[in-house]
Amino acid sequence: MSLSCGFVGLPNVGKSTIFNVIMKKVVAESSNYPFCTIEPNKGSVPIKDDRLNNLSKIENSAKVIFPTLECVDIAGLVKGASKGDGLGNKFLSHIRQIDLIVHVVRCFDSEEIIHVHGKVDPVFDVDLINTELVFADIEVLEKWIKKNKALKTKEIDWAKSYLKHINENKSLDQFKEDNKDKNTEEIMSWLKSIGILSVLPRFYVANMSEDEIKNGNKYFEELKAAYPNEVVIPIAAKLEEELMSMPDDDYREMLREFGVKKIGLDFVLSTAYKFLGLESFFTVGPKEARGWTIKKGYKAPEAAGVIHTDFRDGFICAEVISYEEFISCEGYVPAKEKGKIRKEGKDYVVSDGDVCNFRFNVLKKPK
C-alpha cells in the first residue's frame, strides 16, 4: 500500500511532536518558532493490533509484525498560504502528495509556546486552514479550466461544477449529494489527481495539556461543538513524547495513571487506517504472526499479491478462517480438525481479520 496520511496545521500546534512520538524517536525538529519544519518528514509506522498478539500467543510465533502506515509531517500553514505566504505554495504541494489530512489543532494554553495569531482559538484555526485549502483549490480549478476551456469532456464539466460549488461555500458532502446520480468516486479521484485539496478525507486531533487530557477543556469542547459531525481525537502529545523512551508496558501504565485509557496516538493511527479504507488480514505460524495491509474490497489474489507477486500470479486458492473462529478453536490445527478452514477462490473478498494461507503455483518466467 502506498497510501499516506499527513499531519497538517498551523505552526506550533504539536505536529512534529506527534510525529516524533509515532516514530518512537526524534525525527522532526520541534521548536518554539514557526517553520522549524521546512521539508516534510516521512516514516512508516506500525498499526498496533491486539489481535495479532493474541494469534501469536496461540501459535507461539517467534515475532509479531504489525501492518504499517506511511505518515508525513508537513510544515505549518499560515494565513495567506494559498497566495504563497510563509512558503505556502511549497507546503501546499506537500499536502497534494498525501491521501488523508490529519489536522492537528492546538487546544492548550502556554506562555512558553507562542501562537502565530497571539491567542488560542481552535475553531478559528481550523477555519483558517480549511479556507486556505479552498482558496488554493479555486486557483487550481480556474487555471485548469482556462487551459482546457476548449475541451468537451466530462472533466471540464466536473471542474466547472466543483468550482461553482466551493465558491458558494458548500460542503463536500453536499457536492456528493448533488451529484449522486453520477460516479462521485470517479469525480473525487479525478479532482485529487489535478491537486484539489478539499476532497481529501480528514479528521481532527486536539492537542491538549497533560493536566487536562483526562477531563477535557473548553477548547476541546468548542472544537467538538463547531464540528459535531467530524471525528475529533484528544491527545496529550507532550506527555506521550516525555514517556516514549519507556518500555511499551510501562509507557501504557504511566498514561493510565494520567487518566488516558487509550493511547492517543494509537487511536490516531487506527483512525487514519480506517479513513483510508484500509483493512488487515493475518498470516500466522511458528516464525511470525503478521498483519498485511489491503484496501477494503480486495479479492483473494490481490491480497495474496501484497505478500508476493508470485502468490497472486500463481494463485490457486486461499485457506481462510476468521480471527474470531481461530481464537475460538485455539489454533490452526484444531480449526482444521473441526472443519472451520474454508477454501476460497479468486472471487472471494477478503475481510478484515481473516487469517489466510495461500496456495499457489510458481509460474515459470520467460527467459
Contact 147, 140 (CB under 8 A): no
The alpha carbon of residue 207 and the mean position of all alpha carbons in its chain are separated, in whole angstroms, by 17
CA distance 198 to 145: 17
Strand partners, 283: 290
Q: Is 218 annotated as a binding residue?
A: no
Contact 101, 201 (CB under 8 A): yes
Per-residue cell: 124:
478559528
Q: Is 309 annotated as a binding residue?
A: no
- Start-to-end Cα distance in the chain: 30
CA distance 18 to 207: 9
Q: Is 15 annotated as a binding residue?
A: yes
Q: Is 16 annotated as a binding residue?
A: yes
Q: Which positions ≥6 away from 85 have C-beta within 8 Å?
A: 78, 79
CA distance 312 to 314: 6
Helix (H) or strand (E) holding 311: helix 309-313
202 C-beta neighbours (distance < 10 Å), count: 20
Strand partners, 4: 70
Q: Is 12 annotated as a binding residue?
A: yes
Q: Is 268 annotated as a binding residue?
A: no
Ramachandran angles phi, psi of 216, nearest 5°: 80, 180
- List, as residue ranges, the binding site for ATP: 12-17
Binding site, by residue number, is 12-17
